[in-house]
Amino acid sequence: MRSRGTTPHAPRRRAVAALAALVMGASLAIALPGQASAAARVDNPYVGATAYVNPDWSARAAAEPGGDVIADEPSFVWMDRIAAIGGTPGARSLRAHLDTAVSQGADLFQVVIYNLPGRDCAALASNGELGPTELGRYKSDYIDPIAAILGDPAYASLRIVTLIEPDSLPNLVTNAGGTAGSTPECATMKANGNYEKGIGYALHTLGALPNVYNYVDAAHHGWLGWDSNFVPAAEQFKKAATVEGASVADVHGFIVNTANYSALKEPHFKVTDSVNGATVRQSSWVDWNYYVDELTFAQALRTELVRQGFASGIGMLIDTARNGWGGPSRPTGPGPTTSVDAYVDGSRTDRRIHAGNWCNQSGAGVGERPTTAPEPGIDAYVWAKPPGESDGSSKPVDNDEGKGFDRMCDPTYTGNGRNGFNLTGALPDSPVAGHWFSSQFQELLRNANPPLDGGNGGEQDTQAPTAPTALRATAKSSSSVTLAWTASTDNRAVAGYDILRGGAVVGSTASTTFTDTGLSASTAYSYTVRAKDAAGNVSEASAALPVTTEAGGSTGTGALKMQYRNTDSSPTDNQIRMSLQVVNTGTTAVDLSTVTARYWFTPEAGASTFSTSCDWAVLGCGNVTHGVRAASAPAPGASHYLEAGFGSGTLAAGASTGEIQLRVNKSDWSSFQEADDYSRATNTAFADAPRIGVYVGSTLAWGTAP
């Protein structure tokens, strides 16, 4: 669709340094009103444009060891509070930025519009100054003054790209009720509609300026890549773009991965790969997502947005400032095929502990440099979040910017439902969001991918992590062992762990648990674990742990079988849903009152009591019994089971009960993590289900018990 090329900007490091000293006061090279007239909007504002380099950021980057190698890169200017419009200590005003852009000879200016009422209802680190109901102030004191400045004829020659309100509309889809990530604040914003109204007003007001190109924030694949979120998000974007006078014509495109770390491309595995019969989507890392990187997500989302009614010519931006994931820990090829988790964890370039981790991530690197039209449908790779600016403080810090302390920025925090209760992977000693974070900047330089040319690249890390301790088996079966250990520490941060069986590496993980599968029954094994950091330093091995697997589980041999289809495409919502039917494969009728079926699962965190429902059954829900019981001998993926039975009736030879639609929820409606449940499968048409047991009385007639 468009040719590949790099966003052009002439070498001007010395000029930028000089301007940093000159422009904070009166503007010295202001274009006079009427000096230039706005040209008609172009298809891609980045094509043929020289982008503005922010001297405030550039000076800080150039002052860091090795930072001069990226100090000339263009990035977005953040208007994250009303005071930022007029300038704050160490950062020039919006008008001064625009004057400097004109002085630089730039013809493209990038700015983040970021101050909605009740801003970022799901992350305290990026909370804003306006309360949930202050929509009027957002319009009059924030958007209107910005529009007045951008509309000054002095800047008519600039193509102005606006990034509209990160982390807002996606929260209404995923965090406004009924999920592990939900917050009362997000529920409030969904109910009052002020995110939608604020964005609609911004789109309409700024979109009226002929040289402004609005790009709406659209989260990232690790947020919206599931089918339960993907289309609803596109519908939400359409809704916001058609209120407060806005129309889809006010949206030039969308941006993904804003201020995040999701890999641009995963070169060593695809979402369609399978390992030993298990799809990559079943891995703990992918977690049934339909995308594994930002490029495929952005291109697919663009198609869906056009289907929703946005213009066929909309373009996508991808923030690549901090998603390089380079350094010595970057995989050079596919991971081991011992299990789907080992394969994905060994293949993925994104080395986060969990894709839900977002704050000052350890091991991250500078990504692709700003590039124009790199792929079909992609207007540009951009640096929306300038490298070196903190995502949030690792400890509570008093400030006058309305920014709170979020535990996801604390490296000692063991997480919540949004990140699977894993460590946060955050760097220690971080400042308030938006403030300069030198150690993060140095790590981004060290781990840059593609590698940076020239520069010092920061001080080399040669210190290995401490050895993991307290290695233990938390569960085992005839064919698997689940291990856990106490986290190691490092002078910078631990990037992950290698798990060794009999001295050979059988997998890697970024968390402090691992399940080794494909083992033999009644067999003794010996395990150790080693920690590693982003610089490739490896710890001493933990103390060895001997483990003997269980004897083989029982397998039914009767004349019944179970068929199952998955009616719940999201494995991380707050219900387990399925359709079952029992088939009589024998030659004689079976008394259904003696038949029960067991669907084994694990509830993870949350309530330990359950509710079950029959939504529909060919035999009638009144003839179907159902409830949850704790397994007498818990196994991986099988600490509990849904037991379904029948009040009465006879199942003739060769006959089926017909479909029975069942569901389970915890009494507190907290979320499940079904991906590792023993009985779960992904087929959406009825198929034989050997991991769902069918019992006649107490005898297993079908399936293999865990």
Which of the residues are catalytic?
Answer: 120
| DSSP states along 305-355 | HHHHT--TT-EEEEE-TT----STTS-SS---SSSHHHHHHHH-S---S-T
Distances (CA, A) of 389 to 366, 382, 392, 440, 677: 13, 15, 9, 8, 40
What is the distance between the alpha carbons of residues 595 and 623, in angstroms, rounded to a whole number? 12
Cis amide leading into 450 (omega within 30): yes
**Contact call for residues 581 and 592 (beta carbons, < 8 A):** no
Closest CA to 304 of 290, 292, 324, 287: 290
| DSSP state at residue 81 | S
3-state secondary structure of 290: coil
In the three-class reduction of DSSP (H, G, I as helix; E, B as strand; rest coil), residue 144 is classed as helix
Which of 294, 302, 349, 285 lies closest to 320, judged by CA? 294
DSSP 452-484: PPSS---PPP-PPPPPPEEEEEEEE-SS-EEEE
Q: From CA 422, how far away is CA 420, in angstroms rounded?
A: 6
Strands annotated E in 8-148: 77-79, 108-113
- Rg of the chain, C-alpha, whole Å: 28
- Yes or no: say if 379 and 49 are a contact pair by the CB < 8 Å rule: no
- Residues 177-194: b if buried by 16+ CB within 10 A, e if exposed: eebbbbbebbbebbeebb
Secondary element (H or E) of residue 195 = helix 194-207
Query: E strand or H helix at 99, and its extent?
Result: helix 94-104
Helix axis angle for 13-22 and 94-104, nearest 10°, is 140
Q: Are the C-beta atoms of 297 and 379 separated by less than 8 Å?
A: no
CA atoms lying within 13 Å on the CB side of residue 199: 31
Q: State both tokens at 297.
A: 């997500």
DSSP 43: S
Alpha-carbon span 259 to 385, nearest angstrom: 5
CA distance 693 to 556: 8
Q: Rounded CA gap, 324 and 264, in Å?
A: 8
Residue 254 and residue 328 in contact, taking contact as beta carbons nearer than 8 Å: no
79 DSSP β-pair partners: 113
